[in-house]
Structure 1
Amino acid sequence: MKTLIRRGTIALVLLGAAALSGCAADAQTTVASDCVPASKFNTLHEGKLSVVGPDYPPLFTYQNSKIDGVDGKILESFAKANCLELDVKVLPAAGVIEAVKGRQADVAAGGWYPTEERAKIVNQSEPAYGDPAVLVGKNPSGQIEDYEGKTIGTTQGYLWVDDLVKWAGDKAKLYQSPDAVYQDLLNGRIDVAMMAVNEAAGRLDQSPDSGLSYVEMAETPLIEATQHPSVTNLPHTKGNTELTEAINSHLEKIRNDGSLAKILGDFGIDESQAKPESE
């Protein structure tokens, strides 16, 4: 479980709630009159699935009435399978879970990790896909031990930060955002970056000529997070067990028919993450 500020705190909740009315839009979805839903469940607004998420490529984006990103495509297919139109809202990450808690949206998008704390205020689906730690660099090694004495950059808030600092000491360089990590890697200020796979994939996709690549970290006792790789889920309204069952059923379907792996691959994420190990 990653506890990055942009995914876990609620410092911007009031700002986010106020922004809901200004950032909502109906996606261009047409439901056929003879459509038969795959599952039966209630949503906050009849005939619509309300989705909220941060602008967070490659996992979730919404521009020009088009939902995109890994979670966006999953939820687009879920809505279609259940004869629902999409109603999409974009918020700062700190306000997303609170919006679902406050019943302003049915489901949250954006690569959310399941946690015990979140389970108190929202329902959580089964794991959707893996989001393990990777090392990013020029022909990177997956063995963190190979970078002893090298400068390793990562974002503050990850579960692995304490272990990394304990092992690397002052060679561990902490940043406020993944973008800052990646920029310093591009500019040669650090030797390697330790990132979540979705963050690495998105940035590499935007700079295909960088000469950089990523490799999943090998399990090591030095970094506990490598022993229990993170997974994502789709948080949704508390108490709506039928929605939970429907989301889980859809995830199982697209996992089994290969479409989830294809979605991941389309966004530069290893297709094997479609079958994650539960934490």
Structure 2
Amino acid sequence: MKLKRRFGLVFTSVILAGVLTACGTSDDKDESSTGSSNDTDKNVLIMGTSADYPPFEFVETATGEEIKGFDVDLAKALGKKLGYEVKPKDIDFNGLIPALENGQADLVLAGMTPTPERIKTVDFSDTYYTSRNMIITKKGSDIKTPADLEGKTVGVQLASIQEGLVTDLVKEEKLDIKVEKLNRIPEIVQQIISGRYDAAVIEDTVSKGYLADNKELVGSLIEDGSEEAGSAIAFKKDSKLKDEFNEKLKEMKENGEVEKLVLKWFGDGAAK
């Protein structure tokens, strides 16, 4: 983690230095701790997330700018058990791993799958949620399967697992697909509604929220090979936070706390 050190004045008086040491001033905090370089409190962790992915993480602009969702609740619950305050920070999805590497975030929860490529640069916790992918189109479309994407313009979130899935259809299945990559899911959905995109591939749990809000859209679950490795928490390489969070995550999975959060945000179907 990129560190930011603060230095106080140098006092020649041994007595005064001793008093300051005993009082424990803020400048004496060990900033090589797990706290982000953006925060001097070692008990505060910055959670990088991309707040355009309901119900995992999103902002209800009508009620304020607070980031909420399944990932936020999970991160805060884990942090509380470990004595940390977790503060979400909105970052474009493709910038989340760089944020870990340069110290702008201490951990990432963003429905992120630990792909082999990502594992090269960051560490991941155990999986906390598993989901599948869905093709989203306008009502009346004949697009229902990956093969139906032939000759179509398809939107995906930049640097997402869905981008990789559609790219593989082009490279491995030799499908003629125009792949359009955007940072934000709402932008992709709007492009379908406006007719600029024929379809999009989005994670199924997230898709359900957009389908409920946009009655002109329909979704088709990708049946073959769509089972994901699941979502996991990302940390900077060799961060001690990985083991700490894994221990409490295991406890929450065993005692039913994770399931309760799944039921809260996804409903009964997602918890089965």
State the TM-score bracket (shorter-chain normalisation): 0.5 to 0.7
Please state how far the C-alpha of 1:192 moved relative to its aligned partner.
5.2
- Unpaired segments ≥5 residues, structure 1: 1-41, 220-224
Query: Aligned partners of 1:259, 1:141: CA distance in 2, in Å?
Result: 41
Change (3 A) 1:163 1:67: closer
Q: Residue 190 of structure 2 aligns with which residue? A: 183
Match of 1:251 among 243, 249, 252: 249
* One-letter identity of the residue aligned with 2:154: G
Query: Would the aligned equivalents of 1:152 and 1:190 in 2 still touch at CA under 8 Å?
Result: yes
Q: How does the TM-score come out when normalised to structure 1?
A: 0.62
Query: Aligned partners of 1:257, 1:140: CA distance in 2, in Å?
Result: 44
Match of 2:166 among 161, 165, 170: 161
| 2:114 aligned with 1:114 | yes
Q: Residue 24 of structure 2 aligns with which residue? A: none
Mean alpha-carbon deviation: is it higher for 107-116 or for 175-184?
A: 175-184
Please state how far the C-alpha of 1:125 moved relative to its aligned partner.
0.6
Q: How does the TM-score come out when normalised to structure 2?
A: 0.63
Q: Residue 8 of structure 1 aligns with which residue? A: none
% of aligned pairs identical?
22
Change (3 A) 1:168 1:140: farther
Query: Aligned partners of 1:185, 1:112: CA distance in 2, in Å?
Result: 24
Please state how far the C-alpha of 1:176 moved relative to its aligned partner.
2.6
Change (3 A) 1:76 1:214: farther
| 2:67 aligned with 1:60 | no
Q: Residue 174 of structure 1 aligns with which residue? A: 179
Give the length in aligned residue pairs: 223
| 2:145 aligned with 1:144 | yes
Residue 176 of structure 1 aligns to a residue in which SS?
strand
* One-letter identity of the residue aligned with 2:210: R
Say which structure is richer in strand. Answer: 2
Query: Would the aligned equivalents of 2:52 and 2:58 in 1 still touch at CA under 8 Å?
Result: yes
Q: Deviations over 1:17-74 (max 9, x none)?
A: xxxxxxxxxxxxxxxxxxxxxxxxx632432222222333312246857441221111
Query: Aligned partners of 1:65, 1:143: CA distance in 2, in Å?
Result: 36
The structure with more radius of gyration: 2
Q: Residue 194 of structure 1 aligns with which residue? A: 201
Query: Would the aligned equivalents of 1:135 and 1:214 in 2 still touch at CA under 8 Å?
Result: yes
- Unpaired segments ≥5 residues, structure 2: 1-32, 36-40
Q: Deviations over 1:85-122 (max 9, x none)?
A: 22333333343222222334321122222133433443
Residue 105 of structure 2 aligns to a residue in which SS?
coil
Query: Aligned partners of 2:140, 2:104: CA distance in 1, in Å?
Result: 45
Change (3 A) 1:46 1:160: closer
Please state how far the C-alpha of 1:215 moved relative to its aligned partner.
4.6
Q: Residue 28 of structure 1 aligns with which residue? A: none
Residue 155 of structure 1 aligns to a residue in which SS?
strand
1:257-272 correspondence runs (5 A)? 257-268=255-266, 271-272=269-270
Query: Aligned partners of 1:146, 1:116: CA distance in 2, in Å?
Result: 26
